[in-house]
Amino acid sequence: MPDRPTSGEIAIDVRDVVKHYRTPGRGEVQALDRVSVSVERGQVLGVVGESGCGKSTLARLLTRLERPDSGSVEILGRRIDLAKRGELRELRRGIQLVFQDPYASLDPRQRIGAALAEVLSVHRLPSGDGRVGELLETVGLPPSTAGRYPHQLSGGQRQRIGIARALAVQPQILVLDEPVSALDVSVRAEIINLLVRLRDELGLTFVFISHDLGVVRHLADRIAVMYLGKIVEYGPWDVVSDTPGHPYTRALQTAVPIADPGLDAPPTELVVTGEVPDAADPPSGCRFHPRCPLAEDRCRSVEPLMLPASGRHRLACHVVQSEAATADGTNG
Amino acid sequence: MSVLPTVAEPMGSVPAAPGRSSLLARIWRDRNGRIGLTVIVLLAVIAVLGALGVLPHDPIAQHPAARLQGPSSRYWFGTDQFGRDIAARAAVGIWTSLRVAVVSVAAAAVIGSVLGISAGFFGGWVDQIVSRFIDILFAFPAILLALAVVSALGNGWQNTAIAIAVVYTPIFTRVSRGPTLTVGGAEYIKAQRVLGTPLPRILLRHVLPNVSAPIVVQVTLALSWAILTESALSFLGLGTRPPTPSLGLMVSDARNTVATAWWTLTFPALAIVIAVITLNLLGDGLRSALDPRRDSRP
Amino acid sequence: MSEPILAVRGLHTAIRTPSGPLEILRGVDLEVDRGETLAVVGESGSGKSFTALSIAGLLPAGAEVTSGQVLLEGRDLVALREPERRTVRGAEVGMVYQDPMTSLNPMMRIGRQVTEGLQAHGWSKDAARDRAVTVLGEVGLPSPQALMRLYPHQLSGGMRQRVLIACAIAPRPKVLIADEPTTALDVTIQQQIIQLVARLRDEYGIAVVWITHDLGVVARIADRVAVVYAGRVTELARTRSLFATPHHPYTDGLLRSLPTPGDPHQAPLPQIGGSPVALSALPPGCPFAPRCAHRQDRCDTEEPPLIDRAGSRAACWVPREDWHAPSAGVTGRA
């Protein structure tokens, strides 16, 4: 499948970002360790991983809910991690966040119309009923929704409001943190379709975060797979989801159940054993080695680097990298 | 494979909710709120009449000839040992008590909530300082603290109000800090930050309304407690200065006469009880009126 | 055909509400055989969790079975008195819950959590201990002896779910009810739990009722599937047949709405539309009719029973052949 044509312009550029949290009792937890990734304008970056992999921390850094300990976060060519008050508000008009739980992310005491109008007025945008109605229409809701409270809406309707609110400031980038995980199956497709439509109509750039490789595969142009605070594999959507190189991505691919009983259960050797280790005390060398079916001695001591496998496809695994090198050697 | 007709954005079924009515109307819908509101308006009217001095009897003028007369068509609640009309004195007394209560509780609620919300929202050293400060205030028994403040400042209704405010400020701080910890971490607050909403506005429009329920309840409890404290301080001679009538002073004065003239104690005491109960009922009504989730329930 | 170990017949369960009783289950019919996994699939509010709770006799206060039967080897559990039901619960019907964090007592050692249930069912202290060590090993937990002395907070989420499964199977029940046991877990852990339950089912020959909202999980674990909508089973079929040729438009819509590798990238997914019907405001006919693309006049007035359709049973008046052209099935996708 060809890539969507892009301007080649960079919308998001994250470089060598490190983020620690200090937690009582557990010491320092490393949420992100030297993570670098960039997204071209108009593209969808899918970020996949399990709990504790750092994908939500990445969302928080992109939207400046938090600042990195080191490294840089550039949004539309400007450093959002360094921005001061006035510039920050301006930058926030460029990048917006949609939360997983649309109920928790709406003020329970505010009517929908007031919530949308507030965003508009804070940013000194025209905020008449007309504009609120327009926003609601953009996400497929009738204008009468403006008079409701969040608790009077269904899960899907609330998530549409979450999206409408993010769109109110006319951002160029949306960070979507598990936007369909809390929704019923029959509603998920509606929200996914809405997102695809909005991306096309408004020319948006997406960072789509999810634990569900199936959904990410459908939406993303590029996929980044994260494990314990690091990106372990990155590349075009079809390569990463269909012919992944990293053993963790392969494990994810077989672990996400696909609604097709015709596909046999994964062979036992591909099933990852054990659980994600404590991020306060990550394993030495490659962080995946205690669970990895391919682990060798060097994986326990030497941390693998993200190296190109082919074209834009990169991954961090000693074993796969040296296999590829051997194959190249014999072919050449 | 777009085989199914994509049902044109199928969101027609947003429930039709009745428009939200004014706060007063919503208090009125609650039975307790209705009673509280009615009685408090009555008391306020009486208090204002008392304060304006338009009552048939002067609350201060002494009539030695009419000492300790029982309730009659002339003196509805009787007269006290100096021949003063108890009805007129009770009306003014309600004014005195309510004035002290409202001023002191308003001050305590504003200062206490600002401290509590700041401590809960910002955490860190702000929280440390505020929490230690209120711990110290809490270390004193409430009535002793009030007594100490009044003794230091001297009596008079303003000083009584300050004393009660000092006692109640830490309670409001504690009551508002807890919920702020929860609300401050809620996603809708994060959402506001990402949306670029200025901090004062986040605190005022999103944090405050969502922590207001316990504060409001505390206000009504505090009001009734303040009326009692004002009475107690006056009873001890540290509150309102005679001859200005106050419910507490009247109860205090009635000590000597109650054995022979029951009305001197009964009516002022009854006024205190009614005011306290009324404020509690009003608090109930207010609490349910402030919860938007009640609007859609049958 | 042998007698199913567990059969649910016409189960009605209602809860008390301020505006009178509300039926959550409106006649649920199910069967599970020994050594078989039945998946009960539904969306939030469909009644799938109430189905589990009704079978296990663990309904919350204010809810009760108003009619119907839960037959365990032919014995009606609904008709039992509470003391007898308590014996059945745990000993013959085991239950695993969704949230392994809150389902274990944080103040009690793992060992006691497992042995307590056994002792309640008449096991001696020593026998219960031996059994606990065995069963903790069987659910794949390392060094069960040492583990017995730990507290729940010292275990990870996946290990806690294994402990809960150990508690449930320790008394060798005939039926294991699993209410969304993997929803709170990461996908790699979910996969481990799925394999564990399948292995235990085969070793013990128990019947498993697995409640879930995830059709992917269904495809992995289930021999048969019951799709629940608005408090009734709308389709009951063998797993492969349900996924290949669904006979209820709701099942069909759910299956289509999932992104699968065969779909064109970033193209619109088929969606069902509308929202799930409120149990307090059911339409007179088929509860799915307002959202259904294949609705006929009869659907608006008469609620369909489960009708036999080539190898499965579906509560739909309209046979697949008569569905409107665009939905010629999902077989092309496989």
Segment C164-179, tens digit of pLDDT: 999 999 999 999 999 9
Q: Closest to A261 (Cβ–Cβ): which among C243, C273, C276? A: C243
Tell me whether B17 touches chain A (CB under 8 Å). Answer: yes
* Structure token digits, residue A175: 């960070």
Burial class, A1, CB count within 10 angstroms (exposed 0-12 / middle 13-18 / buried 19+)? exposed
Question: Tell me, what CATH number does A70's domain have?
Answer: 3.40.50.300
**In this complex, which of A237, A259, A275 lies closest to C158 when CB atoms are compared?**
A275
C175 in a structural domain = no
- Give the CA radius of gyration of chain C: 21
> Does pLDDT of C315 surpass 70?
yes
Q: Which residues contact C95 (CB under 8 A, 6 or more apart)?
A: C52, C56, C58, C89, C168, C176, C177, C178, C179
Where b means 16+ CB within 10 Å and e means fewer, A279-298 reads beebbebbbbbbbbebbeee
Cβ-contact A159, C275 below 8 angstroms? no
Q: pLDDT > 70: what percent of chain B?
A: 89
Q: What pLDDT, on a 0 to 100 scale, did the predictor assign at position B2?
A: 35
SS3 B265: helix
- Average confidence (pLDDT) over B270-283: 84
Residue A332's pLDDT is what? 42
pLDDT band at B289 (very low <50, low <70, confident <90, very high): confident
Predicted confidence band of residue B276 (pLDDT cuts 50, 70, 90): confident
Amino acid A325: pLDDT: 78
Residue A265 confidence (pLDDT) above 60: no
A125 occurs within a structural domain: no
Is position C249 within any domain?
yes
Q: Which of B5, B10, B13 sits opposite C326 (nearest CB)?
A: B5
Q: What is the pLDDT of residues C2-12, one digit of tens each?
A: 678 999 999 99
Structurally, chain C folds into a number of domains equal to 1
Q: What is the mean pLDDT of chain A?
A: 87
Between B13 and B205, the higher pLDDT residue: B205
pLDDT the model gives residue A181: 87
pLDDT at C187: 85
Residue A292: beta bridge partners?
Answer: none
Omega of the bond leading into A304 within 30 degrees of 0 (cis): no
Mean pLDDT calculated for residue range B272-292:
80
Q: What percent of chain A has pLDDT over 90?
A: 59
pLDDT of C280 reads 85
| pLDDT at residue C258, rounded to an integer | 86
Residue C76 belongs to a domain: no
In three-state secondary structure terms, C166 is: helix
Chain C touched by A251 (CB under 8 Å) = yes
- % residues pLDDT > 70 (chain C): 96
- Position A124 in a domain: no
Range of the domain at C327: 236-261+269-275+288-333
Please compute the mean of the pLDDT values over residues A182-192 and round it to a whole number: 88
Closest chain A residue to B292, measured at CA: A109
Average pLDDT of the segment spanning A250-279 = 71
pLDDT-derived band at B3, boundaries 50, 70, 90: very low
Instruction: Tell me how many domains chain A contains.
Output: 1
Residues 6+ apart with CB under 8 A from C132: C111, C114, C115, C118, C144, C148, C166, C170
**Which residue, chain included where needed, has tokens 């002022």?**
B268
Q: What mean pLDDT do residues A255-265 have?
A: 65
What is the rounded average pLDDT of the residues A71-93?
Answer: 92
* Neighboring chains of C (3 or more beta-carbon pairs < 8 A): A, B
* pLDDT of C2: 63
pLDDT at A206: 96
- Answer yes or no: do B7 and C18 touch at CB < 8 A: no
Nearest to B274 by CA among B224, B233, B215, B239: B224
Inter-chain contact A218–C215, Cβ cutoff 8 Å? no
Judged against a pLDDT cut of 50, whether residue C64 lies above it is answered with: yes
Q: Is some CB atom of chain A closer than 8 A to the CB atom of B296?
A: yes
**Within A175-285, where are the H helices?**
185-202, 213-219, 237-242, 247-255
Q: Quick check: C265 and A1 CB within 8 A? A: yes
Residue-range domains of chain B with CATH: 49-60+73-294 (1.10.3720.10)
A216 domain-assigned = yes
Say what the pLDDT of residue B9 is. Answer: 36
Model's pTM, two decimal places?
Answer: 0.80
In tens, the pLDDT along A5-43 reads 556 789 999 999 999 988 776 678 888 999 999 999 999
Which of C44, C216, C273 lies closest to A258 in CB terms? C216
B98-150 tens-digit pLDDT = 888 889 999 999 999 999 999 999 988 899 999 998 888 888 887 788 888 88
Q: What pLDDT, on a 0 to 100 scale, did the predictor assign at position B8?
A: 34
Buried b (16+ CB within 10 A) or exposed e, C88-97: bbbbbbbbbb
- Are residues A142 and B6, on separate chains, in Cβ contact within 8 Å? no
Check B3 against C256: CB less than 8 A apart. yes
Q: What is the pLDDT of residues C281-310, one digit of tens each?
A: 899 899 999 999 899 999 999 999 999 998
In a domain, C318, yes or no: yes
Task: Let me know if residue C113 belongs to a domain.
Answer: no
C166 domain-assigned: no
Show which subunits contact B, needing at least 3 CB pairs below 8 angstroms: A, C
Residues in B touching A106 (Cβ below 8 Å): 188, 191
Residue A64: give the domain boundaries. Answer: 10-94+169-240
Whether A160 is covered by a domain: the verdict is: no
- Please give the pLDDT value at position C334: 29
Structure tokens at A291: 């669970």
Confidence of residue C331 (pLDDT cuts 50, 70, 90): very low
> What proportion of chain B, given as a percentage, has pLDDT over 90?
13
CB A90 within 8 A of CB A79: no
Torsion of CA A183, A184, A190, A194, to 10 degrees: 10
Is-contact A31 C169, C-beta < 8 A? no
